[in-house]
Amino acid sequence: MQPHRRTACCTGLPLSETAYTALARMAASAGDGAAALAAAQAMVAAGISPRLRSFCPALLAFSTAGQVSRHVQLDSEKHS
């Protein structure tokens, strides 16, 4: 997956929470939990307040891939 850009490709507008979540969902559907998590973290780094739905794709991808320790680690970080 390409590195996440902080602006939309052609318009130069900043990405919204919805756009970052869509990137995370696409990465998760490809089985790439790390990229899904990177998209959610990029959103936080861009100063956008995340919602739970922003991290759910990474949680799902980690669980599906059998990476339970990554799932538990991310889940505990979100609840602390």
Could you report the per-residue pLDDT of 2-13, keeping only the tens digit for each?
444 454 555 677
pTM of the entire structure? Answer: 0.76
Contacts of 58 (CB under 8 A, 6+ apart): 24, 28, 33, 36, 37, 40, 74
Tell me: the pLDDT tens digits for 28-39? Answer: 999 999 999 999
